């Protein structure tokens, strides 16, 4: 089991999701590592299930993967990994392996996106977070999205409402899009259905849900396991299935691109009136049928519904963030 981050006046470092696991009393059986095999242009999970609509295999990389052992990028690429979502860290708190991971992935032909874990309690701080990320990624060839992760009990403890988190998300994402990059919101089922008003967020979704399917509105990337096994990485890693390979970013933006949300390149628009929802873009859209901000394919209302669990999992293991908690 992985501990979530606890805020007691200042942030205390904890174990990362998709990183190192602390040994607990054996109340919960250990989960077998999952894999994603690329075969005949299909993507297959450990149990043989094909992920329909997937077009790329990726991983989430943070300092915890580096601390577990050296990353062999060649071996990772040979295992079918074509993109990596790399941790920036927090505002003014850069992951110590960020530069190493960015250079390692890009130099080995693995496309990169990044993610920042938000601590913003107001809109101005969200703007600062966006500018901080832009400063860190300037000069790198970014060919996957720039992700915003607001999954923090700290934000809830400080009274942030779903509308406020949606507003802050939009401020961050618009700044990223204005700079020519593709923004995306990271979230698990619980957060996206209860704590962020995604009816007000017209951006791509990086959806985390384990032990079930990855259907969700505007989902472009599905993080289907936090206990993945990939060649070249020591220990557990999150494995991602992308349903859109971001062709408009494929050459790698270095901060001088012209991508704008709402353009013909496949991004949804950003101009939303209060209470209005944004239609899923047709170019690069998820393979799922869409049902609205709190629904999944097939009309299943997800508000207040816990993710489907598999043997050995509890709710705390199904609601994690890619950054340390």
User: Which of left, alpha, beta for 139 (phi over 0: left; psi -120 to 50: alpha)?
Assistant: left
**Res. 41 pLDDT band, cuts 50 70 90:** confident
Residue 301 tokens, joined: 């209302």
Q: Which CATH superfamily is domain 36-317 in?
A: Glycosidases (3.20.20.80)
pLDDT at 21: 35
List alpha helices for the chain, DSSP H.
63-68, 73-78, 98-107, 123-137, 153-157, 162-178, 189-194
Counting other chains too, the contacts that 188-191 makes at CB distance below 8 Å and 24 or more residues apart are: 188/151, 188/307, 188/318, 188/319, 188/320, 188/321, 189/216, 189/302, 189/305, 189/306, 189/307, 189/318, 189/319, 190/306, 190/307, 190/319, 191/150, 191/151, 191/319
Say if CB 145 and CB 182 are below 8 A apart: yes
Longest dimension (CA), the chain: 53
Residue 315 tokens, joined: 């709710």
> Per-residue pLDDT averaged across 126-137, rounded?
98
Residue 129 tokens, joined: 């977070």
Task: Measure the CA–CA gap between 269 and 281, rounded to whole angstroms.
Answer: 9
This prediction's pTM:
0.77
205-230 confidence digits (pLDDT tens) = 999 999 787 999 999 999 999 999 99
**Res. 269 pLDDT band, cuts 50 70 90:** very low
Domain ranges of the chain: 36-317
More confident residue, 254 or 220: 220
Gyration radius (Cα) of the chain, Å: 18
**Res. 202 pLDDT band, cuts 50 70 90:** very high
Quick one: which of 183, 176, 217 has its CA closest to 302? 217
133-175 confidence digits (pLDDT tens) = 999 999 999 999 999 999 999 999 999 999 999 999 999 999 9
Which strand (E) or helix (H) includes residue 184? strand 183-188
Place of tokens 């470092």: 13
105-126 confidence digits (pLDDT tens) = 999 999 999 999 999 999 999 9
pLDDT at 255: 81
Place of tokens 């299935």: 241
């Amino acid at each position: 089991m992985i501990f979530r981050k606890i805020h007691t006046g200042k942030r205390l470092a904890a174990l990362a999701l998709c990183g190192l696991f602390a040994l607990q009393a054996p109340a919960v059986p250990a989960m077998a590592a999952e894999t994603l095999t690329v075969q005949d242009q299909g993507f297959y999970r450990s149990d043989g299930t094909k992920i329909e609509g997937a077009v790329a295999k990726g991983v989430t990389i943070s300092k915890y993967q580096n601390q577990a052992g050296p990353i062999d990028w060649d071996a990772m690429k040979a295992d079918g990994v074509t993109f990596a979502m790399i941790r920036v860290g927090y505002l003014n708190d850069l992951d110590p392996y960020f530069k190493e991971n960015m250079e390692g992935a890009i130099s080995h032909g693995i496309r990169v996106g990044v993610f920042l874990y938000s601590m913003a309690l107001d809109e101005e701080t969200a703007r600062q977070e966006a500018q901080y990320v832009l400063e860190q990624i300037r000069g790198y060839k970014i060919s996957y999205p720039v992700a915003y992760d607001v999954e923090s009990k700290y934000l809830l403890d400080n009274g942030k409402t779903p509308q406020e988190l949606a507003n802050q998300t939009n401020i961050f994402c618009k700044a990223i899009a204005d700079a020519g990059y593709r923004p995306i919101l990271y979230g698990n089922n619980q957060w996206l259905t209860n704590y962020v008003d995604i009816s007000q967020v017209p951006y791509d979704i990086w959806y985390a849900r384990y032990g079930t399917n990855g259907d969700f509105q505007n989902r472009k990337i599905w993080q289907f396991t936090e206990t993945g096994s990939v060649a070249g990485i020591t220990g557990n890693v999150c494995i991602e299935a992308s349903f859109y390979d971001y062709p408009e970013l494929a050459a790698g933006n270095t901060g001088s691109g012209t991508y704008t949300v709402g353009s013909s390149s496949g991004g949804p628009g950003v101009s939303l009136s209060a209470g209005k929802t944004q239609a899923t873009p047709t170019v690069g859209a998820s393979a799922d049928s869409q049902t609205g901000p709190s629904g999944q394919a097939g009309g299943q209302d997800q508000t207040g519904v816990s993710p489907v669990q598999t043997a050995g999992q509890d709710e705390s293991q199904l609601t994690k963030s890619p950054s340390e908690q």
